[in-house]
């Protein structure tokens, strides 16, 4: 079993409500305190109970694609250790756990009937969560497309959207009696533009037209899956999507720089929230990319299918994007310090003349600037984009070089400061009128961090990958106190 959080001396002051004058920042009653993971990053057991390869199995086993030659074959063995992991969640006082379902574990070829052994794992996981008082939130797609579907064309192929809807109906029918919160897609931008544009994510293709086609078919898949879920879920269920939207900023008010912001905002944000929230792609996106594609794959009726009413919107946030127009005449050609991995191919179609700059300030181990104001700005933007739609922060967190001390404890004061600052930004947005219902820390556990392998640790819980021992870090204890009190405790040693 994992080390108990509630028995730690660090948490001896945990109370049911913040005390006046304690320095705690109270959140609204019922605010969700959660943590998130994804299937390929934690489950392991990639060849058990009928599961077949996903694009990430193939990608991670391709030499040179993942740091250290790491794979998710074992990951953190959550498939076998889920009961202990759920006990740890309960010990932390989490009120919700966001996890993803592995598509090839449920529907190995991406077609046809489900493998019940795969569904049974998620049934057991949901039952264990409910028994421990932790509300499950299911993400249907967190990047693990069945390899068979990729071989048939992947997300650039329209048929994949229909297969996704079929899969959504299968999972909804199996778990809908016990799960109320549903998310169709996680970060479709990464699936489309890192998977098919820059190639730094699975399946590793480097075709800007394929990336744009994938973006549209991910949108279509979201709409079709939303309709499929609504056909099998009870009326109390909530259907959402999680977008990794980002604030796009510039260095000046020069018209060329402002146009660079417009173009990148369309590619980073509007390409998804335009159809999903407004039933239309952003004005100018088609013209910006006209030299690459005529967008003929957007068929009559597609936008109506995509524009399904949502019950909530998930926002994933890590850092803002800073851009300017390239100025080759004065020695400033376009560069791509965009934080999305090294590649000779850009994830930004038709934007080779835009310069991506590193934003100033302190950075995490990912090289991403720590800027909580970006989270506040993002929340307020979507409060305007979709008035009346409840918001959840479905991912936010930081990677640091966490190491146990001589006594085996893991102290991560940087992560505590990060969480305090970003949760304060959420609180500020709520005070400004935003309807934010919850926050999901990324991530519950150290895990397989995609192309970075096991080099980057995002978890509030330290995992010794050799022994699979779980050790709550000091940030886990801090977050446990926040979850149990409903407010933000001070950052140790700072008085704030």
Strand-pair partners of 249: 322
Contact between 118 and 50 under an 8 Å Cβ cutoff? The reply is yes
Q: Which residues are catalytic?
A: 187, 395
166-239-226 Cα angle (round to 5): 30
Cα–chain-centroid distance for residue 434?
A: 21
């Amino acid at each position: 079993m994992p080390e108990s959080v509630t028995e730690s001396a660090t948490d001896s002051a945990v109370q049911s409500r913040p005390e006046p004058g304690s320095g705690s920042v109270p959140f609204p009653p019922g605010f969700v305190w959660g943590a998130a993971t994804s299937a390929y990053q934690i489950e392991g057991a990639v060849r058990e109970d009928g599961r077949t390869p996903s694009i990430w199995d193939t990608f991670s086993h391709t030499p040179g694609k993942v740091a250290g030659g790491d794979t998710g074959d074992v990951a953190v063995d959550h498939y076998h250790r889920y009961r202990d992991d759920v006990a740890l969640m309960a010990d932390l006082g989490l009120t919700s756990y966001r996890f993803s379902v592995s598509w090839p574990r449920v529907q190995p070829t991406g077609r046809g009937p489900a493998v019940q052994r795969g569904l049974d794992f998620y049934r057991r996981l949901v039952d264990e969560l409910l028994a421990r008082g932790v509300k499950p939130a299911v993400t249907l797609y967190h990047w693990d497309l069945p390899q068979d579907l990729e071989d048939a064309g992947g997300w650039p192929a329209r048929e994949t959207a229909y297969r996704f809807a079929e899969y959504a109906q299968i999972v909804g029918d199996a778990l809908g009696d016990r799960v109320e919160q549903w998310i169709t897609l996680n970060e479709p931008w990464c699936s489309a533009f890192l998977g098919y544009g820059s190639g730094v994510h699975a399946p590793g293709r480097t075709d800007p037209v394929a990336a744009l086609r994938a973006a549209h078919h991910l949108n279509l898949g979201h709409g079709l899956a939303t309709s499929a879920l609504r056909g099998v879920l009870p009326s109390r269920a909530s259907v959402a999507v999680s977008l990794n939207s980002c604030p796009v900023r510039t260095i000046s008010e020069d018209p060329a720089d402002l146009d660079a912001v417009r173009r990148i905002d369309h590619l980073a944000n509007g390409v998804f929230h335009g159809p999903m929230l407004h039933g239309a792609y952003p004005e100018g996106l088609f013209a910006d990319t006209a030299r690459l594609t005529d967008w003929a794959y957007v068929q009559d009726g597609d936008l109506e299918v995509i524009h399904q009413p949502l019950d909530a919107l998930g926002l994933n946030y890590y850092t803002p994007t800073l851009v300017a127009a390239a100025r080759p005449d004065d020695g400033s050609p376009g560069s791509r310090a965009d934080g999305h991995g090294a590649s000779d191919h850009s994830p930004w179609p038709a934007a080779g003349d835009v310069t991506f700059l590193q934003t100033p300030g302190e950075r995490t181990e990912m090289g991403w600037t720590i800027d909580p104001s970006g989270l506040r700005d993002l929340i307020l933007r979507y409060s305007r984009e979709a008035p009346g739609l409840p918001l959840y922060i479905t991912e936010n967190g930081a990677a640091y070089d966490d190491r146990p001390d001589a006594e085996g404890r893991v102290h991560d004061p940087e992560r505590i400061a990060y969480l305090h600052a970003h949760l304060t930004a959420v609180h500020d947005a709520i005070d400004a009128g935003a309807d934010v219902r919850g926050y999901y820390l990324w991530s519950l556990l150290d895990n397989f961090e995609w192309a970075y392998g096991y080099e980057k640790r995002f978890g509030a819980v330290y995992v010794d990958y050799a022994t699979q021992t779980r050790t709550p870090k000091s940030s886990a204890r801090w977050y446990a106190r926040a979850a149990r009190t409903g407010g933000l405790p001070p950052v140790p040693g700072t008085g704030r």
